[in-house]
Amino acid sequence: MSREMESFIRRLEKHHDELRWLYMELYDNGSMFAELCDRMGSFCLERNEELKKRDAVREADPNWYKQNDVLGMMFYIDNFAGNMKGVADRLEYLEKCNVNYIHLMPFLDTVEGRSDGGYAVADFRKVQDKLGSMEDLENLTKACHEKKINVCMDFVMNHTSDAHEWARKAREGNGEYMSRYFFFDNPDIPSQYERTVPQVFPTTAPGNFTWLPDAGHYVMTTFYPYQWDLNYRNPRVFNEMMYNFLYLANRGIDIFRIDAVPYIWKELNTSCRNLPRVHTIVRMMRMIGEVVCPSVLLLGEVVMEPEKVVPYFGTVEKPECHMLYNVTTMATTWHTVATRDVRLLREQLNAVNGLPKEYVFLNYLRCHDDIGWGLDYGSLLREGIEERSHKQYLNDYFQGYAGDSNSRGELYNADPVTGDARFCGTTASMCGIEKAGFEQDKEAMEKAIDLDIMLHAYMFMQSGIPVLYGGDEIGQVNDYTYKEDPLKAKDSRYLHRGAMNWELVKNIERHGTAEGEIFHRLAELERIRKREKVFASDAQTCTVETYDRSVLGICREMEGEKLIGLFNFSESESTAWINTTDGEYVDLCSGRKIWPAEVHLSGYGFCYLKKTFL
Ligand code: GLC
C-alpha cells in the first residue's frame, strides 16, 4: 500500500465511527455512506504530490493559520485583474501588499445577470468563461503556493442556480432531480413556511418561494428567485456536494468559505436558520476534509448575532469551522465611528476575547456585502438608545446626512414595512475620503485618511486574522457606475464592488497622493504586525480602560511581550489614562519612549505601545 493510502486510512480510521454515526443518523443509508468513503479514497489518490506535501506539513502543524503573519485580501477576479491569468500576473503586487491569503470571489459558472455576484452557481466544476478555465485555476493556486499565498473560494452549498443541470432536469418534471430541491404543487406548505421564515432580501427578492408556471410548481428560493435551495434531506445532494468540495480542494484551494451556512437545513414551523442538522452537516464536512485534504480550512459565513455564530466553531473535541467572520464587531466598529463612543465596542470585544483561543475570527472593516446594523440593542437600550431610531441614525450618518459626518454611501434593502435598512459603501467613502476628494479639501482629506488608517490599525489588533477588501489599500471610493448597468442597478452592493483602478495604483509611488499615503501607512502597520509575535491569533487579548469614551484600548500579551493599542475614535484630541506600573513602553510607529499612564492622541490618532518583560 502506498504511503498516501496509509495516511488516508489512518485519518479515515480516526473519524470513521463518528462520521458513520452522524451520516446514518441523518440518512440511514449504508450504501450511500459506503459510496462516500469510496469516493473520498479516490479524491485522496487523485490529489497531486504538492498538495499532499502541503497536507503533511499542515497536519504536523495544525496551528499554521494562527500566526501573526496571516493577512487576507478579497476581490472579484474580473474587477481586480480581468481574469485568472491576470491575477497570476499580479502576485507581486499582492506580495507588496503583504497579503498571503487571497479570497477569490465567486468564479464558477453562472448566468450573467442572474448570478447574485456569482453566488448562483450553474456548474461547480466549470470556471466562468470570461475568467478562465479549471486549468487556469490550478495554475493560479500553484503560483500562489510558490509565493506562500493561500487561496480561498466560496463554496455556495445552500443553493444552485436555476441553470444548474439538476435544476433544469427538475424543472422538466424529473422526480429524482425535483427531490434535490423543495418543490410544491400548491401554496399550502410554502405559505406555512412563510409564517415562520424571515426574508433575506425583503425588497429586491421578497418571499422564500418562487412560482414556476412552466413546471406548475413552487420552488424554495430563500435568496433570489433563480437561486434554488438544495434539499439536504436527500443524501444524494450531500454526497454530490461533498464530491464538488473535494474536486475543488484538489485544484489547490486552501480555504473554503461556506456561503450562507446557517440556511442549509430547512424544517417547517422553524425560522430555517441554524437548525441542529446544519451542525451535523458542517461537522461531517470538516471530517471529510480532514481525511482527504487536511491542509484545507473551512470558513463559515454566519452573518448573525454572536450567540448564533460561535456554535459554528463546534467544540474543541468536535470542531466544525476553523474560522468565522467577526460580523458583529465589524458593525459595532462603524457604530463607534458614528457615535464616537467606544463602550459598546469594548463590550463586544470583551465577549470575543472571552472565547477559547482555538476559535479564530476573520476581522474586516467591510466586505462585498452590505453592512447590517446587527448590534447589541439590549445593551444600547440601557443607555436609552432604541433600535429603530438608532438604525435610522446610522443610515443617515453614513449617507452623510446626520451628525458630523463626511461619509458617502447608499441604503440596501430598505424595508418599508419594518423601516429596516442596511448600508453600502467602501471603507474610504465611509471615512470621508470620497467627499474630501470631490471637494478638494486637503485638511478634510487628512482627517479622512487618519480615520481610515486608525480603523485598520485597530482591526489588526483584534483577536484573529484581518482581511482587506481589494482596493481599500489605496482608498478606493464608491463606484456609482452600477446604476447604468440594468443587470446591477437594483443591487446597491455593487456600489462598493467597483473595479480596481490601476491608474490610481501608480500613485502609490508618487509623493503627496492620497493613494500613496494610505498604501504606505498601511504597509507599515502590516510590517509591524508581521514582525511582532504578539499579534498571533492565540495571544491573550483584552480591552483596557482609558477613562475617555472615545478612546479604545486593547492589550495583547504573549511570551513575555505586551502590546497596548490606543485608538481615538474622535476627530478631536483625546487623552488616554491607563492604570499601569509597568514603566516605559516603546511606540512601535514613532520609536518614541512613552509612559502610558497619560497618552495624548491626535484626532483619529492611534499608537501601538510595546514592552518586553525579561
Ligand atoms: C452570502 C453572500 C451574498 C449572497 C448570499 C446568497 O451571504 O455573501 O453576497 O447574496 O450569500 O448566496
Ligand 1 pocket, 116 CB below 6 A? yes
Pair 281, 241: CB distance under 8 Å: no
Atom of ligand 1 nearest to the CA of 119: 12
CA atoms of 501 and 336, how far apart (whole Å): 30
Pair 563, 555: CB distance under 8 Å: yes
Give the pLDDT confidence of 85-140 residue by residue, as tens digits. 999 999 999 999 999 999 999 999 999 999 999 999 999 999 999 999 999 999 99
Q: Is 129 a residue of the active site?
A: no
Q: How far apart are the first and last CA of the chain?
A: 52
Ligand 1 pocket, 260 CB below 6 A? yes
Ligand 1 pocket, 259 CB below 6 A? yes
Q: Is 484 a residue of the active site?
A: no
Atom of ligand 1 nearest to the CA of 158: 12
SS (H, E, C) 135-191: HHHHHHHHHHHHCCCEEEEEECCCEEECCCHHHHHHHCCCHHHHCCCCEECCCHHHH
Ligand 1 pocket, 367 CB below 6 A? no
Atom of ligand 1 nearest to the CA of 369: 9
Ligand 1 pocket, 446 CB below 6 A? no
* Ligand 1 atom 10 nearest Cα: 116
CA atoms of 219 and 496, how far apart (whole Å): 31
CA atoms of 450 and 456, how far apart (whole Å): 10
Ligand 1 binding pocket mutation candidate from 114, 119, 155, 493 (most atoms within 8 A of CB): 119
Measured from the Cβ of residue 341, the count of other Cβ atoms closer than 10 Å reads: 16
Low-confidence ranges of the chain (pLDDT < 50): none
Measured from the Cβ of residue 530, the count of other Cβ atoms closer than 10 Å reads: 16
Output phi, psi for 520, to 5 deg.
-75, -35
Strands (E), 446-569: 465-469, 540-544, 551-558, 561-568
Q: How far is the CA of 608 from the centre of ligand 1 (A)?
A: 36
Ligand 1 pocket, 156 CB below 6 A? yes
CA atoms of 396 and 338, how far apart (whole Å): 10
* Ligand 1 atom 9 nearest Cα: 369
Pair 151, 100: CB distance under 8 Å: no
CA atoms of 311 and 309, how far apart (whole Å): 6
Q: How far is the CA of 359 from the centre of ligand 1 (A)?
A: 23
Instruction: Give the pLDDT confidence score for residue 204 in this predicted structure.
Output: 85
How, if at all, do strands 297-300 and 323-325 pair? parallel
Q: Which of 162, 290, 301, 450 is catalytic?
A: 301
Ligand 1 pocket, 80 CB below 6 A? no
Q: How far is the CA of 258 from the centre of ligand 1 (A)?
A: 10
CA atoms of 424 and 491, how far apart (whole Å): 10
CA atoms of 122 and 108, how far apart (whole Å): 8
Atom of ligand 1 nearest to the CA of 116: 10
Q: How far is the CA of 307 from the centre of ligand 1 (A)?
A: 21
DSSP string, 3-32: HHHHHHHHHHHHHHHHHHHHHHHHH--HHH
Q: Which of 78, 254, 259, 548 is catalytic?
A: 259
Spell out the long-range contacts of 586-594 with Cβ–Cβ below 8 A and sequence spacing 24 or more: 586/610, 586/611, 588/528, 588/532, 588/563, 589/524, 589/525, 589/528
Pair 580, 551: CB distance under 8 Å: no
Strand pairing partners for 209?
Answer: 220
Question: HSE-up of 540 (CA within 13 Å, CB side)?
Answer: 7
Q: How far is the CA of 225 from the centre of ligand 1 (A)?
A: 13
Atom of ligand 1 nearest to the CA of 117: 9
Q: How far is the CA of 259 from the centre of ligand 1 (A)?
A: 7
How, if at all, do strands 561-568 and 551-558 pair? antiparallel
Ligand 1 pocket, 119 CB below 6 A? yes
Instruction: Give the pLDDT confidence score for residue 538 in this predicted structure.
Output: 84
Q: How far is CA 557 from CA 31, 525, 590, 612, in A?
A: 51, 18, 21, 10
**Residues 6 or more apart from 162 whose CB is under 8 A from it?**
114, 120, 168, 171, 225, 226, 227, 228
Q: How far is the CA of 17 from the centre of ligand 1 (A)?
A: 34
Sheet holding 561-568, edge to edge: 540-544, 551-558, 561-568, 606-612, 585-587, 593-594
Sheet holding 217-220, edge to edge: 183-184, 217-220, 209-212
* Ligand 1 atom 2 nearest Cα: 259
Closest CA to 572 of 450, 415, 423, 457: 450
- 3-state secondary structure at position 606: strand
Q: How far is CA 596 from CA 144, 495, 569, 572, 580, in A?
A: 42, 42, 18, 19, 7
Closest CA to 267 of 248, 280, 255, 254: 280
Ligand 1 pocket, 223 CB below 6 A? yes
Closest CA to 251 of 109, 421, 400, 46: 46
Strand pairing partners for 554?
Answer: 543, 565
Strand pairing partners for 299?
Answer: 257, 323
Q: How far is the CA of 47 from the centre of ligand 1 (A)?
A: 29
